[in-house]
Amino acid sequence: MKLITGTTKLLGVIGNPIKHSLSPVMHNAAIAALGLDYVYVALPVAPSDLATAIAGFAAIDLRGFSITIPHKQAIIPLLNQVSDVAQAIGAVNTVWRTEQGWSGTNTDVIGFLAPLKIYDRDWSQTTAVILGNGGAARAVVAGCAQLGCAAVKVVGRDRQKLAAFQQSWVTSPIPVELSIHTWDELPSLLPDADLIVNSTPIGMHPHDQASPLEDAIATQIAQGAIAYDLIYTPSPTRFLRQAQQQGAIAIDGLEMLVQQGAAALEIWLGQTAPVEVMRQALRDYLGL
Ligand code: NAP
């Protein structure tokens, strides 16, 4: 193991709580593989301390950091520059230091898109159905917009939240034509869906037997469609198993997690991230 010395540079992740973050696992594995004099640590920051913490990070020359719940939105006014994609999503997950101060972006879209890029599809002819309208769904919508999907259909259970979600994209730097739907509409939405993304936590460990889709509704998934679950434990989730039974392609959330981290590391270090090392470190840690 590499020695931490007086020259070691600091990266980290802020959140509250933060002790369950997987980011230190994959980033320190990458730093070790690259033989760099860096260390990546989890930094608990209470919401009331956020501005103080960010000012302190500049003072101690922290090179960059990841942001997780509950700071992804609150950090935006504390940054000197925010990328278009982070503005569209309304959340920042990666911050780095420039001569102008702190810059922020959101690498979840890169992470979401990475495992889709291996499929040779004419995305301009595809319909995406997104289950859930929370924070992760925003990155998925931005990803579908970048793919150029013909239709993006967002399914939620709260009509007010759905309407606000749709409205937020009207003036977004990443414009997207999206429609909003309630869960009872799924039987008519699924047969035409080329990409179905679960962005709800339904089915996440320890609720391994749960699925966002009842079995009878899951039979509406078209053969050859791509079913994408943002959940990474268990793998596969019940939703992905249901989709595979219909002849759909299944993608779990691990690659998104790895690739959003790799994109952040590349911003901080200015060099290619060892994606396979990061993936394996997470697999080992999660027992996958
Ligand atoms: P979030 O902001 O809390 O949003 C969750 C969404 O799911 C909300 O729209 C919520 O509806 C809906 N939902 C929750 N329980 C539901 C239920 N029983 N029935 C119907 N809808 C339900 O969470 P998030 O940050 O978007 O995360 C969502 C999932 O994505 C989590 O499992 C998370 O671990 C995963 N994720 C993975 C990655 C990755 O890198 N792989 C990245 C981000 C997130 P309401 O708004 O009506 O409550």
For 116-128, the pLDDT digits (tens) are 999 989 999 999 9
pLDDT 10s digits, 58-114: 999 999 999 999 999 999 999 999 999 999 999 999 999 999 999 999 999 999 999
173 falls in which pLDDT band (50, 70, 90)?
confident
Residue type, 284: D
Catalytic, out of 72, 117, 153, 161? 72
Angle at Cα 69 formed by Cα 65 and Cα 70, nearest 5°? 105
72 catalytic residue (yes or no): yes
Distance 7 CA to ligand 1 centre (A): 40
pLDDT 10s digits, 73-86: 999 999 999 999 99
Report cis status (omega within 30 of 0) of the bond before 47: no
CA dihedral sign, ordered 127, 219, 203, 225? negative
* pLDDT in the model for residue 175: 80
Residue 14 near residue 43, CB atoms below 8 Å = yes
Residues 6, 9: Cα–Cα separation, whole Å: 9
Decide: 230 in ligand 1 pocket, CB within 6 A: yes
Average pLDDT score, the chain:
96
Distance 69 CA to ligand 1 centre (A): 12
Which residue's alpha carbon is nearest to atom 3 within ligand 1? 134
Decide: 199 in ligand 1 pocket, CB within 6 A: yes
* pLDDT in the model for residue 1: 66
Q: Is the pTM of this model over 0.85?
A: yes
